[in-house]
Structures are given as C-alpha cells and as structure tokens.
Amino acid sequence: MINIIQIKVRGYHLDIFQHVNNARYLEFLEEGRWAFFDEFGAGTELMEQGLAWAVVNINIDFRAEGNFADVLEVHTQFSKLGNRSVTMKQRIMNAKTDTLVAEADVTYVCFSKEKKAAVPLPDDYKMKIQKALEESD
C-alpha cells in the first residue's frame, strides 16, 4: 500500500534562500503519514485502546530544492515491521519534473499511554501491516 498526497509550496514554506526550509519538510512528511494512516485505518481504534504511534527516529536525505509554487508529492508506505515498531519509507517528488526532492525513513513504536512505554503491536495491526508490506513488494 502506498499513499500519495500533493502539497503546493507557498511563500511561508520558504527560507531566506527562497527555497523550502528544511524544517518544513518534516511537516510535509507528517502530513503524508497522517493521510496514510487515515487510508490505512490506524488512528482512532488505537487511541480507544490507549495506544498511539510515537515517532522515535527520522532520517531525511535532501536531494533537490523545492521552490515557490512547486507541487510536491509525498509518497508514503510501510517498509519494515518489528514487534513494537514499524518503519515507513517516504519520498517527496516534484510532480512537474519527477525529481526526487527528499526521502526519509521514519520509525514509530506502539506506545501505551497507561504504561508510558513501548508495547508490542496488537496482532490485528501486525497482520494488517504485514499484508500492506507484501502488497508493496
């Protein structure tokens, strides 16, 4: 499963050099993950169980600049499944030029609000994530 959203670069996304500020890419990536989880269906149900996805690691490689009025596509998919964690691969592409702007690996843990600690993923989510991984191979 892969989810793709589009974001148009606005003036407030730019830095002094007139290209997208590096911190804005974190917001673009997060928007992509929220859209992915909306489609995947892993938000409200987990919260009702007292669980949440907590980001524990983000690695971003910047490849090209994003500029004012560019339309950027954020591609999001699962890439790795652990007992308590899941890693997502994200790519930001310039929709007009098909240029890779940035790519990131984001690791989440399943976090129990009650225990204030990472806990194993519920079995139904592990199976659902595994299926999504197999579909994207």
Catalytically annotated residues: 15
29 half-sphere exposure, CB direction, 13 A CA radius: 24
Helix extents (H) in the chain: 22-40, 44-48, 123-136
Residue 79 in contact with residue 50, Cβ under 8 Å?
no
Buried/exposed code over 1-13 (b: 16+ C-beta within 10 A; e: otherwise): bebebebebeeeb
